[in-house]
């Protein structure tokens, strides 16, 4: 058979790795044909809705459901009393703590679930919620974690007297754990002997992932078959199935969990929430499907806050600026229950990546987790387990040190970067960085923005400002971040005892098309597009001929799901490995068909050809058909493979971001003049999708740095529970981003990819924040807490005496 196409043309036809392939998901999404949880409609379906506590800390003295039950359409009202005989009035959290499903005697945060009303439709359910009468007796409220550690008030009475928690000793009745990493004494010694030590409290405020679709589920118990189907907005459907089985006692094979299309996750949809448990119970009790979808206020007030880390830092250096040591003590506000979503052995996630991109010989980190009267959660809002906090901490400390040394912060970074020949690099806090070339990225970034000229312009602007010719300052925000993603090696990463591997199963059909199923679940990342590209490049079938499925635990192989930028590093690796198993079998089939030895054929884009005789070949399509119609001695029929991939290490994407911001000293308003984002995520699978991820992640970072927060008053009232108060930027104020890249493949990943989804959130928050600080650096500002909304920036200017 003669092939008219060149190798390059054949390769391009596959739309494999490196191609900006258009997304296959978009055909249905652009027509409104996505299928999200709230689109699911089952026969006889009921609706659940919560009665929630208006108080942040109170005893529940009585619950009267009589009036609610009298409302037409209300079917039942569940309280903790109803769940107690089933042992479901409390549930285990992902962090080794337990959490009330429905208020058991008291409430610990505003918005806590008190009763669950089940009704024929959502309006009747809302009527029922209004009619449930709950009496509360108010208790003293603690919203400050430092106060909590001093207070006599016991928040968690259920834990009273327990001096040991899931992560070691508890020092106080409101204390959860202490987590220590690194060399305490060595670091203290370095600090004592250092030429220079800069010290600062860096606060990363509480915020919320706030995906546009809120959390929800539909539980459907089939009493005839005994099978429970649970549709939901789950970022980890397989883990949810196991958890549901463990806490409900329903055998795991009798549970089917389905994550349909998910309208954004960003960490919000990792956790297990009271709504899921109550809906399952309600479906079992009523024998009907029950839907629960939280509204926006419930979402912002109760499911999955992020951050809330008070990070006290000390950084030591020589007078020339070489960093010699880093010390960090973090007070972590976990709210009323410890429901953080971290791997079991990491109660503060990967906060110990806080040495960042720098070669810091000695370091020490301690984190104290604390209970307060705030919502539980502590998820990774588009980051890999507290990496954002770590990156913000080190990137602020570098700036603080630069001020102390009176040095340019870009130069200070440069002289402290880990050098490319130091990889794999062992960090002082225990990680092995896989690969990087930070100097190259940094130089490329500084050149691209014209860093030197920007500093000259800034200096000139300061002169003009001092001369009264302008009221606007320029801030140049710098960041070089290193992420740690792709959790993770099973040897040290698990959630509830489930190892954090991931999986892919590929089945080739006789006509040479394929279906692949993965243990992950897309929430907008475009898995159906990109994972097909990996397979296309590995086995030479066009990506357009490969269907991808995720999220149905009855059909997909077991995996730990999508969060922490782990899909490409872990499931992407499983995909490549499964494809390689198929290719290995295809090689044997090709050799048989070509009547040569297995070793005498070689892979060529989409075919195996005889070595030295490229005109003799069998395409993958031909091989696929042969796998189903030929009796090949020594080979089973069919062509499929599965891979469960346990990564040998995490991956370490990095990036260099530079923001130029104009700040109006009199109004506190800002304007982002430019934002440059260079990302190195290793091998690039789909550049179009990478750019999209960077735009989106930077916009989330912009929101967090410049205005978004979950704020409480001293009574524990959540002051930012609607989109009126919780800042989500619109198209109007969102900056335009310039993206760039370098490629430093991961040496241990089958295709060298590192993951990119979360890098822009991790990198852009310190970049925006550093720009604000940089604008005021000449006037003496060292540290000011985020979010930098107009009022807070105005306040900085006022406190520095810049208002006449």
Partner 1 sequence: MSKMHVKLNVNGQEVEGLAEPRTLLIHFLRENLNITGPHIGCETSHCGACTVDLNGKSVKSCTVFVAQANGSDVTTVEGLTNDDGSLGVIQEMFREHHGLQCGFCTPGMITRAHRLLQEKPNPTEEEVRFGMAGNLCRCTGYQNIVKAILASADMMNAQKEAAE
Shortest Cβ distance from residue 772 to partner 1 (Å)? 20
In this complex, which beta carbon is closest to partner 1, that of residue 321 or of residue 572? 572
- Distances in Å between the alpha carbon of 475 and those of 95, 110, 198? 40, 39, 22
CA distances from 78 to 117, 228, 298, 774 (A): 6, 19, 18, 54
Active-site residue identified among 52, 156, 307, 382: 382
Of the pair 33, 611, the CB lying nearest partner 1 is at: 33
What does the alpha-carbon distance between residue 674 and residue 677 come to, in Å, rounded to a whole number?
A: 10
Q: Residue 671 Cβ, how far from partner 1 at the closest point, in Å?
A: 13
The verdict on whether 235 is a catalytic residue reads yes
Instruction: State yes or no: is 382 an active-site residue.
Output: yes
CA distance 333 to 239: 26
DSSP 664-684: ETTT--EEEEEEEEEEE-BS-
35: burial class by Cβ within 10 Å (0-12, 13-18, 19+)? Answer: exposed
Which one, 121 or 554, has the nearer CB to partner 1?
121
CB atoms within 10 A of CB 86: 15
By CB atoms closer than 10 A (0-12, 13-18, 19+), residue 74 is: buried
Catalytic: 383? yes
* Pick 303 or 427: Cβ nearer partner 1: 303
Residue 393 Cβ vs partner 1, minimum distance, rounded to whole Å: 25
Task: Tell me phi and psi for residue 66, to 5 degrees.
Answer: -60, -50
Q: CA-CA distances (angstroms) from residue 242 to 22, 161, 255, 559?
A: 35, 31, 9, 11
Q: Answer whether the bond into residue 488 is a cis peptide, omega within 30°.
A: yes
Question: For residue 450, what is the DSSP state?
Answer: T
Q: Are strands 290-293 and 670-680 parallel, antiparallel or unpaired?
A: unpaired
The two three-digit tokens of residue 29, written as one number: 């999404």
Query: What are the b/e assignments for 545-566, b being 16+ CB within 10 Å?
Result: bbebebbbbeebbbbbbbbbbb
Length of the chain: 804
- Name, in order, each residue with C-beta under 8 angstroms of 532's C-beta and a sequence gap of 6 or more: 24, 516, 543, 544, 546, 547, 548
d(CA 34, CA 402): 50
Kindly name the residue from 215, 328, 383, 681 that is annotated as catalytic.
Answer: 383
Residue 76: closest CA among 288, 391, 220, 232: 288
Smallest distance from partner 1 to CB 794, Å? 23
Query: Least Å distance between CB 117 and partner 1?
Result: 17
- Minimal CA–CA distance to 110: which of 71, 161, 55, 62? 55
Q: Out of 200, 298, 389, 758, pick the active-site residue.
A: 758
Is the Cβ of residue 373 or residue 529 nearer to partner 1 in the bound state?
Answer: 529
Q: Which is nearer to partner 1, 210 or 493 (CB)?
A: 210
Question: Least distance to partner 1 from the beta carbon of 800, Å?
Answer: 32
Catalytic residue among 235, 587, 693, 708: 235
Beta-bridge partners for 92: 98
The residue (of 43 and 185) whose beta carbon lies closer to partner 1 is 43
* Minimum distance, C-beta of residue 307 to partner 1, in the bound complex (Å): 17
Torsion angle (degrees, nearest 10) of CA 167, 169, 171, 173? 70
Q: Degrees (nearest 5) of the Cα angle 150, 156, 161?
A: 80
Q: Which is nearer to partner 1, 376 or 526 (CB)?
A: 526
Tokens for 583, please give them. Answer: 């290719």
Q: How far is the CB of 733 from partner 1 (least distance, A)?
A: 8
Rounded to a whole number of angstroms, the minimum distance from the CB of residue 47 to partner 1 is 10
**Beta carbons within 10 angstroms of residue 734's beta carbon:** 15
CB of 28 or CB of 150, closer to partner 1: 28
Kindly tell me which of 467 and 724 has the beta carbon lying closer to partner 1.
Answer: 724
Q: Which is nearer to partner 1, 357 or 699 (CB)?
A: 699
- Alpha-carbon gap, residue 367 to 329, rounded angstroms: 6
Residues whose CB falls within 8 Å of the CB of residue 277, separated by 6 or more in sequence, listed in order: 83, 88, 91, 101, 247
Which residue in 386, 347, 307 sits closest to 495, CA to CA? 347
Residue 513 burial by CB count (10 A; 0-12/13-18/19+): exposed, middle or buried?
middle
CA torsion sign, 135 to 140 to 144 to 145?
A: negative
Token pair 């009475």: residue = 157
Closest separation between CB of residue 211 and partner 1, Å? 6
What does the binding site for partner 1 look like in residue numbers (CB under 8 A)? Answer: 22-23, 25-36, 38-39, 41, 72, 121-123, 210-214, 261-264, 266, 293, 295-296, 523-526, 688-689, 691-692, 695-700, 722-724, 728, 730-732, 734, 736-737
Cβ-based nearer residue to partner 1, 263 or 668: 263
The angle, 0 to 180 degrees and rounded to 10, between the axes of the packed helices 759-776 and 387-405 is 30
To the nearest whole angstrom, how small is the minimum distance from the Cβ of residue 568 to partner 1? Answer: 15
Both tokens assigned to 474:
């320029």
Catalytic site positions: 235, 382-383, 758
């Amino acid at each position: 058979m003669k092939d008219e196409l060149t190798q390059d043309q054949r390769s391009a036809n596959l739309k494999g790795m490196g191609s900006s392939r258009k997304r296959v998901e978009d055909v249905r999404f652009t027509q409104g044909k996505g299928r999200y949880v709230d689109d699911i409609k089952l026969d006889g379906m009921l609706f659940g809705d919560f009665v929630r506590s208006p108080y942040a800390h109170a005893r529940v003295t009585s619950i009267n459901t009589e009036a609610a039950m009298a409302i037409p359409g209300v079917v039942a009202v569940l309280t903790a009393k109803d769940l107690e005989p089933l042992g479901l009035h409390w549930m285990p959290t992902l962090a080794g703590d337990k959490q009330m499903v429905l208020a058991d005697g008291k409430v610990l945060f505003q918005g806590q679930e008190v009763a669950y009303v089940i009704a024929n439709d959502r309006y009747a359910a809302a009527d029922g919620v209004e009619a449930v009468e709950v009496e509360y007796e108010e208790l003293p409220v603690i919203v400050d974690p430092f106060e909590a550690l001093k207070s006599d008030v016991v928040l968690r009475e259920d834990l009273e007297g327990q001096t040991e928690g899931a992560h070691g000793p508890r020092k106080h009745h409101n204390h959860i754990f202490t987590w220590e990493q690194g060399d305490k004494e060595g670091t203290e010694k370095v600090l004592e002997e250092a030429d220079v030590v800069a010290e600062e409290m860096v606060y990363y405020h509480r915020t919320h992932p706030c995906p546009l679709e809120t959390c929800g589920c539909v539980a459907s118990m089939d009493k005839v078959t005994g099978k429970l189907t649970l549709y939901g907005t789950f970022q980890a459907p397989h883990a949810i199935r196991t958890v549901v089985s463990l806490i409900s006692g329903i055998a795991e094979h009798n549970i089917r969990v389905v994550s349909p299309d998910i309208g954004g996750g960003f960490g919000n949809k990792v956790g297990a929430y009271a709504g899921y448990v109550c809906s399952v119970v309600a479906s079992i009790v009523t024998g009907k499907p029950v839907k629960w979808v939280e509204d926006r206020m419930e979402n912002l007030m109760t499911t999955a806050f992020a951050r809330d880390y008070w990070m006290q830092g000390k950084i030591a250096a020589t007078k020339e600026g070489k960093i010699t040591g880093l010390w960090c003590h973090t007070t972590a506000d976990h709210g009323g229950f410890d429901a953080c979503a971290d791997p079991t052995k990491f109660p503060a996630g990967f906060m110990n990546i806080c040495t960042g991109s720098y070669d810091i010989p000695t370091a020490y980190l301690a984190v104290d987790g604390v209970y307060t009267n705030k919502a539980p959660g502590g998820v990774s809002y588009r980051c890999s387990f507290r990496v954002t906090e770590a990156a913000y901490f080190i990137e602020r400390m570098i700036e603080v040190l630069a001020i102390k040394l009176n040095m340019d912060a870009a130069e200070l970074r440069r002289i402290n970067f880990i050098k490319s020949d130091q990889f794999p690099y062992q960090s002082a806090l225990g990680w092995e960085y896989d690969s990087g070339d930070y100097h190259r990225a940094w130089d490329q970034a500084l050149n691209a923005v014209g860093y030197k000229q920007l500093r000259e312009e800034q200096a000139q602007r300061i002169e003009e400002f001092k001369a009264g010719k302008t009221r606007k300052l320029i801030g140049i925000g710098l960041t070089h971040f290193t992420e740690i993603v792709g959790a993770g090696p099973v040897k040290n990463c698990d959630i509830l005892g489930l190892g954090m591997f991931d999986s892919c199963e590929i089945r080739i059909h006789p006509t040479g098309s394929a279906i692949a199923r993965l243990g992950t679940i897309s929430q907008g990342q475009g898995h159906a597009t990109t994972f097909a590209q990996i397979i296309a490049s590995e086995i030479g079938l066009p990506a357009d001929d490969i269907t991808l499925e995720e999220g149905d635990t009855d059909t997909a192989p077991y995996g730990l799901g999508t969060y922490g930028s782990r899909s490409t590093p872990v499931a992407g690796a499983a995909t490549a490995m499964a494809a390689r198993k198929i290719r290995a079998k295809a090689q044997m089939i090709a050799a048989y068909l070509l009547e040569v030895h297995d070793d005498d054929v070689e892979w060529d884009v989409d075919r195996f050809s005889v070595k030295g005789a490229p005109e003799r070949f069998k395409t993958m399509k031909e091989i696929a058909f042969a796998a189903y119609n030929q009796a090949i001695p020594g080979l089973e029929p069919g062509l499929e493979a599965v891979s469960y991939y346990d990564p040998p290490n995490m991956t370490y994407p990095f990036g260099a971001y530079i923001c130029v911001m104009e700040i109006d000293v009199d109004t506190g308003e800002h304007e982002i003049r430019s934002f440059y984002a260079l990302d190195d995520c290793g091998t690039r699978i789909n550049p179009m999708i990478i750019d999209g991820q960077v735009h989106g992640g930077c916009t989330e970072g912009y929101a967090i740095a410049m205005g978004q927060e979950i704020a409480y008053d001293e009574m524990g009232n959540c002051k930012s529970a609607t989109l009126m108060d919780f800042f989500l930027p619109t198209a109007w104020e969102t900056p335009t981003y310039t993206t760039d890249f370098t490629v430093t493949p991961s040496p241990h990943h089958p295709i060298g990819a590192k993951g990119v989804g979360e890098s822009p959130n991790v990198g852009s928050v310190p970049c925006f924040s550093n720009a604000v600080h940089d604008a005021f650096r000449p006037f003496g500002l060292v540290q000011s807490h985020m979010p930098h909304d107009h009022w807070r920036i105005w306040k900085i200017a006022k406190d520095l005496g810049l208002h006449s």
